[in-house]
Amino acid sequence: MGKVGAGVEIRETSIRLKFVYEGAPVKRTLLLNGSPMLPTPANVKYANRLAAEIRDKIRHDTFSMAEYFPANGIAGVLTVKVQLDTWLEGQRIEPSTRAAYSSAIRFWTGEIGDIAIRSLKHSNILKALATRPLLTGKTVNNYVDVLRQAMQLAVLDKVLTANPVADIPRASHQKEPPDPFSLEEAEKIIADMAKHYPEQVYNYCETKFFTGLRTSEGAGLQWPRVDLPSAYLQVSEAIVMKEQKDRTKTNQVRNVRLNSRALAALQRQAKHTRMVGEHVFNDPRYDKPWMDERAFRRSYWTPTLKRLGIRYRVPYQTRHTYATMMLMAGMTPAFCAKQMGHSVEVFLSTYAKWLGTDRDDAEMQRLEDSIKVPAATLKAVK
């Protein structure tokens, strides 16, 4: 038997708390991440604080056995790290989402992972975020949301009585606006790729510029979804985190009408891949689908922009380029939104900047023509 003081029993390889609750003696061995807590000076100090806190709550009738000793009454210190890991294990999510959640968990584990969840304070969270002042507002919100959900699980499991993350304010952030290429820039990029790289590379690039497919959609496009005679393709699959998915980002199937440029690129591409596999576009170096955008970006996209002296933008901007290209050609927002797989509201909010420009006078003239007072009426008034 070890030393006992103020309800703390120090044993050879563990620490045990002793107190009276609801008229019955209680003994609980403290655990840290599932194993008995070693009687180090720091842990003994913590145990004494914990014992005092429990006695005080029992005295004020606010003590909860489940909150302090979860898992069917087995004593333990449930840390932030353990709770985050437990929460993640229970998520049924895509690999890409799991990767994003894991990134947030690594951050919290490094900053506050060893703190017991019932001891987690608002200030602990704010101090952790303050260590990374360069994080964008969007990233901060994503990280906090993961922690909030993990702690809410503890509330639902009746380990906590309240969520310590509930009142953390959302960080302000502004969504990055589209940064499309001009039609002239797009033509230069396609022409330069045609000059320097295998045909499959610029077929892929031209299709991206003139269909507005998302990166994952272009990589995952399969020949059974392409109807060249009717000049349509169906977007129903995608490649995400190197995995072929039978659904898109929005979980909605859409039909994209092919303009002459996209149709020509797909017709050229057909001789390369239509008879050898289902995927439309392959990396010509390996004759395999583009499973990772980095391969296209590093080997073809970035060198092309450098040669041309065009300001760098990620390949995803080909999608924004097509959207703005359609608007500046005078196509209706409803049709454009359908092609892009957006609701009209989202499309208008994203591309409002391109709705006016040099077509304003023509649009106003259409109104003037419709409201013009007939000449006979004007003569009668005089």
How far apart CA 92 and CA 98 sit, in angstroms, is 9
Calculate mean pLDDT across residues 309-333: 93
Convert the pLDDT of each residue in 140-193 to its tens digit: 999 999 999 999 998 888 888 889 999 999 988 767 889 999 999 999 999 999
Q: What is the pLDDT of residue 318?
A: 96
Q: What pLDDT sits at residue 257?
A: 94
Q: How confident is the model at residue 340 (pLDDT cuts 50, 70, 90)?
A: very high
Helices (H), 60-121: 65-68, 80-89, 95-112
Mean pLDDT of the chain: 86
Q: Residue 74: is its pLDDT beyond 50?
A: no
Task: State both tokens at 308.
Answer: 């041309």
Residues in contact with 112: Cβ distance below 8 Å, sequence separation at least 6, in sequence order = 80, 120, 124, 125, 128
Q: What pLDDT band is residue 76 in, cutting at 50, 70 and 90? A: low
To 10 degrees, the CA torsion angle through 316, 322, 324, 329? 170
Closest CA to 30 of 313, 21, 49, 22: 49
Instruction: Determine contact, residues 352/177, Cβ cutoff 8 Å.
Output: no
Global pTM exceeds 0.75: no
The pLDDT score that the predictor gives to residue 225 is 93
For residue 208, name the pLDDT band (cuts at 50, 70, 90).
Answer: very high
Q: Please report the pLDDT score of residue 247 as a whole number.
A: 57
